[in-house]
């Protein structure tokens, strides 16, 4: 990194960011990300954008984060396309534009980026920037779930159990719900707890209900905390 290798600079920055082999030091992480980003390394540009978005090692600056994501997104980098899409969806650092958000999600989704596949599916479920199309949503959820993306597993389980955009399949829906819960996804843990409490598709099991509610509650899932 000290000899100017951009990949090494980015990797060293990531070590400082995540405390791999060294003490965590976000400011040093940003320093090395910036050096690599100045050489055009897309991963470094994206990670620097994350730091600006979260206020990690630098002051939080949504506009600068958006500019960095745009720089990498325009060169086809899927994580930045996804992040910039989210900024457009919610109006963070840019003027809100749901159609542009969906376009960016699609660009990343077509490169098999699971988070973007899931968000594009949600766009199709809700009609955000695209026309509502539950069947298209299910197609993208299957792609993301096939890569183990927890939120996609949970949403696909709901579609299967409700027959939304696909044939109703309670058994497969519960299988995917359990898989999402076991990955630590709080909404899935809460929903699975409900199934055990109410006997929905499963034999009633108060102990298991409490266990999954507790797991979800520990992550701040409000419904689980109340139940």
The predicted-structure confidence for 44-84, as pLDDT tens digits, reads as follows: 999 999 999 999 999 999 999 999 999 999 999 999 999 99
CA–CA gap between residue 176 and residue 185 (Å, rounded): 12
Per-residue confidence (pLDDT) for residue 227, from 0 to 100: 56
Per-residue confidence (pLDDT) for residue 124, from 0 to 100: 98
Ranges of residues in the chain with a pLDDT under 70 are 223-227
Per-residue confidence (pLDDT) for residue 221, from 0 to 100: 81
- Give the phi and the psi of residue 127 in degrees, each rounded to 5: 75, 40
The DSSP code sequence of 189-223 is: HHHHHHHHHHTSSS---HHHHHHHHHHHHHTT-HH
Per-residue confidence (pLDDT) for residue 220, from 0 to 100: 86
Per-residue confidence (pLDDT) for residue 83, from 0 to 100: 98
**Residue of 113, 56, 45 whose CA lies nearest to 85:** 113
Per-residue confidence (pLDDT) for residue 225, from 0 to 100: 62
CA–CA gap between residue 108 and residue 37 (Å, rounded): 20
């Amino acid at each position: 990194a000290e000899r100017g290798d951009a990949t090494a600079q980015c990797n060293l920055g990531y070590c400082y960011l995540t405390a791999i082999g060294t003490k965590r030091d976000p400011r040093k992480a940003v320093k090395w990300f910036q050096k690599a980003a100045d050489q055009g390394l897309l991963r470094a540009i994206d990670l620097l954008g994350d730091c600006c978005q979260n206020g990690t090692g630098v002051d939080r600056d949504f506009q600068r984060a958006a500019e960095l994501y745009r720089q990498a997104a325009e060169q086809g980098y899927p994580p930045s396309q996804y992040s910039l899409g989210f900024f457009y969806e919610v109006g963070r650092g840019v003027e809100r534009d749901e159609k542009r958000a969906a376009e960016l999600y699609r660009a990343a989704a077509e490169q098999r980026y699971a988070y973007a596949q899931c968000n594009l599916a949600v766009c199709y479920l809700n009609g955000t920037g695209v026309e509502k199309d539950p069947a298209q949503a299910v197609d993208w959820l299957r792609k993301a779930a096939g890569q183990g993306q927890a939120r996609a597993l949970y949403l696909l389980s709901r579609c299967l159990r409700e027959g939304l955009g696909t044939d109703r399949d309670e058994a497969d829906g519960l299988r995917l719900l359990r898989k999402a819960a076991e990955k630590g996804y709080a909404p899935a843990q809460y929903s699975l707890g409900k199934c055990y409490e109410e006997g929905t598709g499963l034999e009633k099991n108060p102990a298991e209900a409490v266990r999954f509610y507790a797991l979800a509650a520990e992550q701040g899932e409000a419904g689980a905390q109340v139940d």
